[in-house]
Structure 1
């Protein structure tokens, strides 16, 4: 999804720094999008990488107004088979990563006076999924962290919101059905459908939006799974 966020922001006239651990892909995207994009190597678990990314934005573009925390990983494991290594690795990327990003960017975001932070969570920040206890914990954590940050940072003119995608066509969803029965719209979402929501929250049109969560899930958690259970027991 991050690549699609970048494409949409560039289309709207933004100047951006993009980061990833996949350097070849990141460099290729930077070339594709042109002179208003700078790619940096960014492992979200490493504070030094975050500092370099923020410094690059300030040096190249003169400041920082928007932070999108998009990195995420997921691995299926029943709770009885969940290792501490999986727990530590998942939370380091999915929850501590956004925290590190905000801490690295905060002083520059305060200078903006009208900054926006968008943290990518998931429908797994609302409901539990079998075999995804660690992922669930990380995404509920992002939702809670977002709300608390919004309260702390409103006085600095910084808005903080979370975006909660459902099943989206990304590498994380590889192998899943493209017509998921638990989604009201009976399809996967496209990355750009999430990007439009991220763009809105970054924009001045969302100037009164903070501390909230925004779903892009095709109706996944509206109750369809519960309806299926009820229908099986209806006579």
Structure 2
């Protein structure tokens, strides 16, 4: 039985939990709020967790290992995320106000905590059997410009950076998801209606939850995929609703390809880089 950790009491996370448990996986769901419904309670355990708390994430992983039917972890999905204000909001205030960084704490720091714990548990698994998979959730906004929140964009670019570094270390199989806008129950209906009209005027639409689920299933089951980002996109751009963004590597001979090749082979010595003894 495949054993997973996921943040999924609403939105896409809940869809992942439902689909994976339906397929027979055992899932530990760490989230602030419990799900309103549980489709397969015999295959799911909920642990209350604020992903910005290292201690609470440690507890989620402890429970996951303890409850795992085979005593190990196979897949970890760092799915928690929120949207928030832009760094330039409040420019008309009489005095400058310190911008909130909660969005960074949830969308990036929480992902770093999850990555560290996943790497540690994978490394300390004495069985060493089977595949181990870490999925980090970035966003299309981690790859393109936007007029939305620059803080959100910074966090999602950061998640992308976590993946592109970890893939070089050879310690975990790691990939990213980068969803376009997906109309889920956590979005206000007014936003869905107004944004959907703007999309259709441009010849695209929302991406689809079912396609995001299929992309997760692909990353979980296809052990040949490592260091890639699957974008969850409108079906006008890809009939399957997801595609490899092919944006984390460069054409052979380009300056950035040369620099990436050199940087990825450097031995950093005492400069603080991992020396291959763990994540």
- Under a length normalisation based on structure 1, what TM-score does the superposition of the two structures give? 0.81
Asked if the contact 1:65–1:115 (Cα under 8 Å) also holds between the matched residues in 2, the reply is: yes
| Greater percentage in helix | 1
2:150 to 128, 133, 149: 133
> Residue 273 of structure 2 corresponds to which residue in structure 1?
none
Aligned equivalents of 2:179, 2:201: Cα separation in 1: 12
Report what 1:228 is aligned to.
Answer: none
Equivalent in the alignment of 1:59:
66
Query: 1:225 is matched with which residue?
Result: none
1:45-124 correspondence to structure 2 within 5 Å: 45-61=52-68, 62-77=71-86, 79=88, 81=90, 84-86=98-100, 88-110=101-123, 111=125, 112=128, 114-124=131-141
What is the CA–CA distance in structure 2 between the aligned matches of 1:220 and 1:45, rounded to whole Å? 36
1:38 alignment counterpart: 45
How far the C-alpha of 1:164 sits from its partner, in A, is: 0.5
The alignment status of 1:218 with 2:228, answered yes or no, reads no
Question: RMSD in angstroms over aligned alpha carbons?
Answer: 2.4
Contact 2:204/2:236, CA 8 A, preserved across alignment: no
Deviation per residue, 1:139-173 (Å, 9 max, x gap)? 01101111101112x2x3x2111110001012564
Deviations 1:161-203 (A, max 9, x none): 1110001012564313234427976321222211210121111
Structure 1 residues 176-185 or 36-45, which shifts more? 176-185
Deviations 1:58-92 (A, max 9, x none): 11111111000111111243625386442x20110
Highest Rg: 1 or 2?
2
The residue matched to 1:17 in structure 2 has which SS? strand
Measured in 1, the distance between the counterparts of 2:198 and 2:19 equals 27
The CA distance in 2 between the partners of 1:54 and 1:159, in whole Å, is 18
Instruction: Find out whether 1:166 has 2:191 as its counterpart.
Output: no
Contact 2:15 2:209 in 1 (8 A): yes
Q: Which of structures 1 and 2 has the larger relative contact order (alpha carbons within 8 angstroms, sep 6+)? A: 1
TM-score, with structure 2 as normaliser: 0.69
User: CA separation of 1:171/1:128 partners in 2, compared to 1, >3 Å: closer, same or farther?
Assistant: farther
Where do 5+ consecutive residues of structure 2 fail to align?
Answer: 1-11, 92-96, 239-279
SS in 2 for 1:189: coil
Match of 2:25 among 14, 18, 39: 14
The C-alpha deviation readout for 1:13-46, integer Å capped at 9, x for no partner, is: 11010011113xx2x44x4322110000011000
Listed as ranges, the gaps of 5+ residues in structure 1 are 223-235
Q: 1:4 deviation in Å?
A: 0.1
